[in-house]
């Protein structure tokens, strides 16, 4: 178990990352190739990821470079997931390139003592070798992660909406209390489930605050830096549910046809700010069961995504849903401006 100790200052400085961390999503997606745990939650992604890697001739680089460097184990080097990556892939890659050689050699040494490091990995202390690694990371991200990006972002937005509910209801402590079964808030300590083979440890924030980063590809235990001197970051898993049924190729319009009608239009609008099934029911003036059916139709059409928030579920727009709503709003605005008064 990891115990994260907060002060009042730390609570004030705790934040939720605005977007997926691309370098950590690379890491976690590589872990998915090394385990069958949770395979059902990534079925759609997994079916196409290997095919794309073959098409781009990336399989050998993944097998010989990335998988040995990112083992699904109690440890992998901290420098591979710099905190700067929360600002985007290029910011993270630049941080890897700027990592001091001494730190890299030290962390590769820890990896070697823990699970074994590839012989070539010590060369990463040299800038040229890190630049080659950066090229592989970019190619892997473009091939395996980017095609799934809209779905990942939609899930992250849904998680942020759920955590904002906790923040509004109970402040930062309310947000921490709703992070899921792997994290338990026992003021002033956040208890974090860790792999069984890892030793229990304590992380004292000491006024630095904590950056919480929801991860789509991480499965199971949250992840923190092994080095307590680094900026405190905690990557944690989304709560996955079986993927919604997608429209078949020979019936592409059925789900979209289901969207016609006032109740579903109201439901779509309500989801733009995040709405529970009960809130959709009240907004649309329908029963809870009817609201659930409307939300399901929107989800099947790929226009909303649903995440559990305690005993309720929260519906938020996907990028496609946001585009549909914006288009409808633009059309309404155009009609208003072109209507001639009687």
Residue 14 is predicted with a pLDDT of: 96
Considering only CA atoms, which of 226, 224, 200 is closest in space to residue 212? 224
Q: Tell whether the torsion through CA atoms of 128, 129, 132 and 137 is positive or negative.
A: negative
Phi-psi category of residue 317: left, alpha or beta, with phi > 0 → left and psi -120 to 50 → alpha: beta
Closest C-alpha to 146, from 91, 96, 88:
88
pLDDT at 250: 37
Which of 15, 2, 7 lies closest to 188, judged by CA? 7
**171 vs 259: CA distance, rounded Å:** 36
Q: Tell whether the torsion through CA atoms of 60, 64, 65 and 68 is positive or negative.
A: positive
- Sequence-ordered list of residues with C-beta below 8 angstroms from that of 176, at least 6 positions apart, any chain: 14, 166, 183, 185, 190
Cα separation, 151 vs 4, whole angstroms: 31
Residue 151: count other Cβ atoms within 10 Å of its Cβ.
18
For 18, list phi and psi in degrees, rounded to 5.
-80, -15
DSSP 100-121: -HHHHHHHHHHHHHHT---GGG
pLDDT value of position 244: 44
Closest-CA residue to 234 (of 9, 89, 67, 21): 21
Residue 143 is classified by DSSP as I
Name residues whose C-beta falls within 8 Å of residue 186's C-beta, 6 or more positions apart in sequence: none
pLDDT value at residue 132: 96
| Full-model pTM | 0.74
| Secondary structure of residue 228 in the 3-state scheme | coil
Q: What is the pLDDT of residue 329?
A: 62
Closest CA to 305 of 326, 290, 322, 288: 322
In sign, the C-alpha dihedral spanning 292, 295, 301, 304 is negative
C-beta neighbour count of 116 within 10 angstroms: 11
pLDDT by residue for the chain (342 residues), tens only, comes to: 999 999 999 999 999 998 889 999 999 999 999 998 888 888 889 889 999 999 999 999 999 999 999 999 888 999 999 999 989 999 999 999 999 999 999 999 999 999 999 999 999 999 999 999 999 999 999 999 999 888 788 788 888 888 888 888 889 999 998 887 889 999 999 999 876 656 789 999 999 999 999 999 999 889 999 999 999 999 999 876 554 444 333 333 344 445 558 888 888 888 877 888 888 888 888 898 998 999 999 988 888 888 876 777 888 888 788 778 777 766 554 554 444 443
The HSE-up count of residue 213 (CA atoms within 13 Å, CB side) is 28
């Amino acid at each position: 178990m990891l115990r994260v100790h907060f002060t009042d200052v730390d609570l004030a400085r705790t934040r939720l990352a605005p977007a997926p961390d691309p370098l950590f999503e690379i890491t976690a997606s590589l872990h998915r190739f090394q385990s069958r745990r949770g395979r059902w939650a990534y079925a759609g992604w997994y079916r196409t990821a290997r095919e794309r890697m073959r098409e781009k001739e990336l399989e050998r680089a993944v097998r010989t470079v990335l998988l040995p460097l990112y083992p699904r184990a109690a440890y992998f080097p901290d420098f591979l997931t710099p905190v700067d990556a929360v600002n985007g892939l290029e910011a993270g890659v630049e941080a890897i390139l700027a990592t001091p050689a001494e730190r890299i050699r030290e962390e590769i040494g820890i990896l070697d003592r823990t699970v074994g490091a590839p012989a070539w990995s010590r060369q990463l202390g040299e800038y040229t070798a890190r630049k080659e690694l950066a090229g592989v990371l970019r190619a892997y991200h473009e091939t395996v992660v980017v095609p799934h990006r809209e779905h990942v972002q939609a899930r992250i937005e849904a998680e942020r909406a759920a955590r904002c509910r906790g923040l509004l209801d109970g402040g930062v402590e309310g947000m921490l209390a709703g992070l899921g079964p792997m994290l338990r808030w026992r003021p002033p300590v956040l208890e974090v489930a860790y792999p069984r083979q890892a030793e229990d440890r304590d992380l004292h924030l000491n006024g630095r605050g904590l950056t919480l980063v929801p991860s789509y590809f991480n499965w199971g235990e949250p992840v923190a830096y092994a080095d307590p001197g680094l900026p405190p970051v905690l990557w944690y898993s989304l709560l996955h549910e079986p993927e919604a049924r997608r429209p078949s190729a020979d019936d592409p319009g059925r789900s979209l046809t289901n969207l016609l009608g006032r109740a579903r239009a109201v439901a779509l609008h309500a989801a733009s700010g995040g709405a529970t099934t009960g809130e959709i029911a009240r907004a649309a003036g329908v029963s809870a069961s009817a609201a659930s059916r409307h939300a399901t139709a929107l989800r099947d059409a790929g226009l909303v995504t649903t995440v559990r928030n305690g005993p309720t579920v929260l519906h938020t727009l996907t990028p496609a849903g946001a585009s549909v709503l914006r288009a409808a709003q633009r059309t309404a605005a155009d009609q208003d401006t072109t209507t001639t008064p009687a």
